[in-house]
Copies of this chain bind each other. A is one copy, B any other.
């Protein structure tokens, strides 16, 4: 099926659903009448219609009506809701539909996707993009340009669907697509994303005095910007990826304890050596974009 003929449904018109709808309508050149969405939030749907992102919005209970029309569905809701959504609506998807999601945890999604109707092709994904706040209103501030996109394809996925999705992702503006296993994704994301959010939250939780902003020089602000997070989603991600995240928290605690010991010992020489190695490693990592 050609791109121009596909009907695309977005389930969940929040931050990521909204940003994907914008990218599909913009750089991907999908027409408004190819775009549908459903959400529990009628206001978000009305806003998306108002911005001409979608032809029609469906209430949550009318999801089946929309799904029956869609050749491609972006599932943009929290992991647990996503699994519940599949349980409820599996029978409603159009025959042969291509599905993908954006959840920050992949193992439970992949496990559920494996068990879907054989004609449905679900390719689990994770666009590594975001914006402060959350919700449809924040979607306009969420840039995909040059960002990373992780796919954790299943053995059952059709190669032509994978190629089609990767092409669409590139046209949305993403700079690098990585294919890996769900388990590998979850281990690495526990470090690069979830641990950072835990650290930022723990840092903000340390200090109630708002006058400390007068003593900010950039590092604290930059460090804690991600603490302006979607609390229900992150609470769910932390507990869903519990084992991998706890391993990373413990690893970080050990690493911090090593620095603390050197500070306690006033070991300036060893600190300097360690900080030099850290600087070199961080410089090797560069700007993370391809």
Contacts and interface: CB of A to CB of B under 8 A. Distances in A.
Interface string A107-131: 0000000000000000000001110
Interface stretch (A46-54, A165-173, A279-287): A279-287
Contacts of A245: 263
Interface stretch (A69-77, A82-90, A218-226): A218-226
Instruction: Report, as a range, how many residues of chain A touch the other chain.
Output: 35 or more
Interface string A205-231: 111101011111111111111111101
Interface string A251-286: 111011011100110111101111111110111111
Contacts of A252: 202-203, 206, 256
Interface stretch (A4-12, A25-33, A233-241): A233-241
Nearest to A223: B196
Given A191-B206, A227-B278, A271-B238, A260 B246 contact: yes
A253 B255 contact: no
Given A223-B200, A279-B231, A216 B256 contact: no
Main secondary structure of the interface of A (DSSP, over half): helix
Task: Give the oligomeric copy count.
Answer: 2
Nearest to A277: B205
A259 B129 CA distance: 24
Interface in A51-102: none
Contacts of A236: 268
Nearest to A288: B216
Interface in A140-185: 147-148, 150, 176, 178, 185
Given A235-B272, A281-B204, A215 B185 contact: yes
Contacts of A219: 192-193, 196-197, 200, 226
A201 interface: yes
B210 A192 contact: no
A269 B236 CA distance: 9
A129 B269 CA distance: 25
Contact of A275 (B213, B231, B288): B231
Contacts of A228: 279, 282-283
A249 interface: yes
Contact of A215 (B148, B207, B259, B273): B148
A277 B202 CA distance: 11
5 contacts: A147-B218, A202-B256, A222-B222, A229-B275, A253-B256
Listed from nearest, the 9 A-B pairs whose CB atoms lie closest are A128-B217, A235-B272, A231-B275, A235-B271, A216-B288, A196-B219, A227-B282, A192-B220, A202-B255
